Amino acid sequence: MPPVISARDLTKTFRGGIVAVSGLDLEIEAGVVYGLIGRNGAGKTTTLRLLMGLLRPDRGEVRILGGDLWSAPRSTRHRIAYVSQGQQVPDWMSLTDLCRYAAHFYDRWDRDIARDLANRWDLPWNHAIGRLSGGQQRLAALLTALATRPGVLLLDEPAAGLDPIARHSLNDCLIEALLRSDGCTILLSTHLIGDLERLATRVGIMDRGRIVAAGEVDDWQRTVRKAQVVFPGEFVPREFNMPGALRSETLGPVITAICRAPDDTVWDAIRTRYGARINVFPLTLEEVFVEMFRDRPTDPVNPHPGDNEGEFITISGQPGIRVDKGDTCRVGGAFQSTAPPAQRDRD
């Protein structure tokens, strides 16, 4: 089955030469919750707006439910809902007015879902939306999106400003949307990585306008570890390559690394061969994210470099982590530094 959402070589440069999205590739299968994470300015919102056809790309192609939204028929557009980061709903309308209004436009509008969500989220029906709190206004926008029974739901930081109870309830509602007989595919951007870990099937990490690492959430949780290897001598042996390292630091005889290791046999092999002591710690997705971007300088002149800089590594069949020249990051499979070994030893 073709992916429900796909983008190929998607690129958008804003006035002033800011490359917000740069050759982005993405494929999302039916029934998946795909979480997009990345630092501020990584290009998440621009990507969602490009996918929704709210911005024209400079280059590349977008397909949602088989076509791009510029030319999609009404019946297709009605199956796609989007809640933007600062979604404005007409503030003079009440929730009753808003639902009546939306029901005219959406063939699949479901009054029962609207009523159920308003009850669960304790939203008043007859107050002007402009007089509700910021979080309640956000929930009203999410309610209208969910009540359209979307086949595809794009959410830009949906839980921003929601209290923890509302956030949990929103996650439940998204899961219910997924489990409905007609199903749903969800793409959401968020900085709440802990929430995402419980909700998402796949996660893509954006950096400088493209997805630099992606994979199944379960797979990240099962395989990514922080490992500390202490060698018996004064230095790390020159020929040693840390298996599956996303990032590593060397200090004398100690390598500390964030690694993708499918199982423990890899550590046993290092112990046996080098007589090293090894400590392995599990990491949350948020910790992996922090480790990947910690201390990573941003080029102040061009924070979104062009296509030809750096190289890409593949992890789980997806475009992988960016390797800038001279960086000592990652590699799916075996660790390699782009710096020569002699320099690595000095680092």
Task: Return residues touching ligand ATP (CB under 6 A).
Answer: 14, 18, 20, 38, 40-46
CB of 156 to ligand ATP, least distance (A): 7
CB of 172 to ligand ATP, least distance (A): 25
Query: How many CB atoms are located within 10 Å of the residue 307 CB?
Result: 13
Which residue lies nearer to ligand ATP by CB, 21 or 98? 21
CB of 137 to ligand ATP, least distance (A): 18
Which residue lies nearer to ligand ATP by CB, 279 or 302? 302
**Dist. CA 127–CA 131, nearest whole Å:** 7
Which residue lies nearer to ligand ATP by CB, 46 or 250? 46
Which residue lies nearer to ligand ATP by CB, 86 or 252? 86
* Cβ 62 vs Cβ 6: under 8 Å: yes
Contacts of 237 (CB under 8 A, 6+ apart): 231, 274
CB of 18 to ligand ATP, least distance (A): 5
Which residue lies nearer to ligand ATP by CB, 237 or 303? 303
Query: How many CB atoms are located within 10 Å of the residue 335 CB?
Result: 22
CB of 66 to ligand ATP, least distance (A): 25
Contacts of 302 (CB under 8 A, 6+ apart): 17, 19
Which residue lies nearer to ligand ATP by CB, 44 or 78? 44
Phi, psi of 198 (to 5 degrees): -80, -25
Query: What are the DSSP calls for 117-185, one per residue?
Result: HHHHTT--SSSBGGGS-HHHHHHHHHHHHHTT--SEEEEESTTTT--HHHHHHHHHHHHHHHHSTT--E
CB of 233 to ligand ATP, least distance (A): 44
